Structure 1
C-alpha cells in the first residue's frame, strides 16, 4: 500500500526533522515526517542552550514541534522506516507495517546512538548524572564533585573543560594509558586529581550518584560522572541506499557527510542533525533542519521550473 505522494519525506521527527517540516510546510510543500519515537535525549530532564526554551523537557519540546509542523500541513506518521529505495520519481520508504511513503526528495534526521562503556549502573544514570557535554549539563552540576571517566581521545579535554564548572574534578584513568608528563603537570596545575585503576560500578544512594567503585574496592566520591560515548549515526536507511559512513576526525564515531547545503553524496537525499553532526546540540539540529528544508525547497523549485517551462513550450508549439 502506498500513501499519497509527498514533495519531501523526512525520516526522523526530532528537532532537525520537525524544523525542516515547518520550513517546508511554510513553503507550501507537502511533507511527511516518519518518526519511531526514540529521541536520543529522552533520558535528560531538560533541554538547555535553546534560546527561550531553556529548561523545557525533551518530551514537551517534541510535542510543541509536532504541533507546529502539523499547523503548517505536515503529515506525521508514527512508525519506523525499514528501508528506502530510489524510484523514477524520487524515493519510496517502506514502514514496519508494510506501508510505503513516497517523496520526490528524502531528508534523513535520524540522529545517533550513544554507545557507552560496559560499567554496572552507568546506562541507567545516563542523561541524569552520567553526562558527556558541559554545555548541556555543566551548569546543573556546578561546584559538585565531578569525575571524568577516561574513555577515548577526549578525556583530557573533558577534564579541563569541566574544571571550569567545579574545583572538584577527578580524572579516572580506568586502566587507560598513563598521561604524558606535560599532561600530568597541567592536570596538577589546574587542581585535577588523577585516579589509577579500573572502574567497576557506580554507587547510587537515594536515586542519586554518590561515587564510583573501583575494582580493588576503593570508592571515590562523585556526584556527576562524565563519559565520552562513541557516537554512531543511525544511518541504516542511507547505508541501504549505498552511502558509506565517515569516521569523525576526532575519533568519536561515525557520521553522514553532507555538503554546505546539507545534501549527501546520494542525489536527492539530504541529512541534518546528529546523523551528520555528531556534536550538535538541540538548537544546532533545529537550525540545520531549517537550512536543509530551505535547500530542498530550492532544489525542488528547479524541477518545478523545468516542468512549467516544458508545459509552456508544449502549449506554445501547438497549432
Structure 2
C-alpha cells in the first residue's frame, strides 16, 4: 500500500475509501491526476459478510471489494493514507485537509465520500446482530432471508414503505409499528390485505443465540418468533470536519437529518468540494455509490481541465 506524508499540492484528495471514494479515485487516476485517498477504515457496510445486488460482485465481501478497488486505483498512481480528517480550510486556489495528527495536506479539489453511521434504537440484542440477522435493505439482503419469518421494526413513518417492500420476499411478515405512529385505517387495511401482521406494542428485546435471531419480545410481554428483522437506523453523515466552511445543506424528509446540498455531479456550494455516496444520500446502495463516485470524479477532472487552460492562457 502506498502512503503519502508530504505537503505536495495534489490535484484531488478523496476522503473516504469505500465504494464512492474508490470509484472517484479510479476515474481521476485514469485521468492522470495526482490523487490521494484518505481513509479511516470504517465503511458503512463493514458489518455485512457479503454484498448483493452489485453487478459483477454479487456475494463479494465488503472487505474484498475494497481491497480490489484499492489495487485497481493504485495501478493508476493513486496514493492511500490510513488516517482521520479533523478539518478542511479554504485557501482560495486550494483547500487544506488537516488530519487529526496535525498534518496539513493541500489540494486543488476535494471529494467527500465518508459515508454515514446508522444510529440504531437502543433495544437490547439489536445492535450486535446488525448486518447479520438485523438488516436494513431488502434489496441487499431480502433474497437471503426469502420465505422466512421476517419482522420490520419501525423507526419513523417511512417504515410503512419498508414493510410493504419486505412483503415481496416473504408471506410471513410482522410490522412492529410503534415508532411509525398511529397508522391510517387505509394503510393498515392495505397491509393486512397482503397478510402483514401489525403489532403496535414496542419491541423491548431482540432474542437469539449469538448472531442468530429467534424472535422479539414486545413491551406487553408477547414473544414473536422471527428469523430476521429489518429496520432503519437514523443516518448520521460523517461531515463534521467541513463545519468551518458553512456549506449549503438540505433537510431530508421524514426526519432523516441534514445533508450536504449537491448538484447532479456531486458539486457542493464550495467550488472546490464535491461529495458522493451515503454522505449525501443515505438510501444509496453500493452500485449507486459507485456511480455517484464516478460522476463526481469525472466532474472534478472537468473542472481541473478548465482551470489548467485558464492558467495557461493567463501565463501567455
Structure 2: runs of 5 or more not aligned = none
- Structure 2 CA distance for aligned equivalents of residues 250 and 256 of structure 1: 17
**Any idea what the Cα deviations from partners look like across 1:261-297, whole Å, max 9, x if unmatched?**
2100112110011111221111111111111011110
Pair 1:13 & 2:17 matched: yes
Tell me which moved more, 291-300 or 251-260.
Answer: 251-260
Distance 1:239 1:182, change over 3 A: same
CA contact (8 A) 2:132 2:211 kept: no
- Structure 2 CA distance for aligned equivalents of residues 85 and 230 of structure 1: 28
- For the residue of structure 2 that corresponds to 1:188, the secondary structure is helix
**Any idea what the Cα deviations from partners look like across 1:12-66, whole Å, max 9, x if unmatched?**
1111111111110100000011000011100011111111101000000011111
- Structure 1 CA distance for aligned equivalents of residues 261 and 157 of structure 2: 21
- Structure 2 CA distance for aligned equivalents of residues 165 and 81 of structure 1: 41
| CA deviation after TM superposition for structure 1 residue 88, in Å | 3.5
TM-score normalised by structure 2 residue count: 0.95
Pair 1:208 & 2:212 matched: yes
* Aligned partner (choices 72, 79, 93) of residue 75 of structure 1: 79
- For the residue of structure 2 that corresponds to 1:68, the secondary structure is helix
- For the residue of structure 1 that corresponds to 2:144, the secondary structure is helix
- For the residue of structure 1 that corresponds to 2:265, the secondary structure is coil
| CA deviation after TM superposition for structure 1 residue 247, in Å | 1.3
Pair 1:174 & 2:158 matched: no
* Aligned partner (choices 258, 281, 285) of residue 281 of structure 1: 285
Instruction: State which structure, 1 or 2, has the greater radius of gyration over its C-alpha atoms.
Output: 1
- For the residue of structure 1 that corresponds to 2:213, the secondary structure is strand
- Structure 2 CA distance for aligned equivalents of residues 256 and 206 of structure 1: 38
**Any idea what the Cα deviations from partners look like across 1:201-237, whole Å, max 9, x if unmatched?**
1101253100001123221011111112211211112
CA contact (8 A) 2:129 2:211 kept: no
Residue aligning to 2:116: 112
CA contact (8 A) 1:2 1:102 kept: no
Residue aligning to 1:295: 299
Q: Between Structure 1 and Structure 2, how many residues are aligned?
A: 312
CA contact (8 A) 1:263 1:269 kept: yes
* Aligned partner (choices 25, 38, 59) of residue 63 of structure 2: 59
CA contact (8 A) 2:265 2:292 kept: no
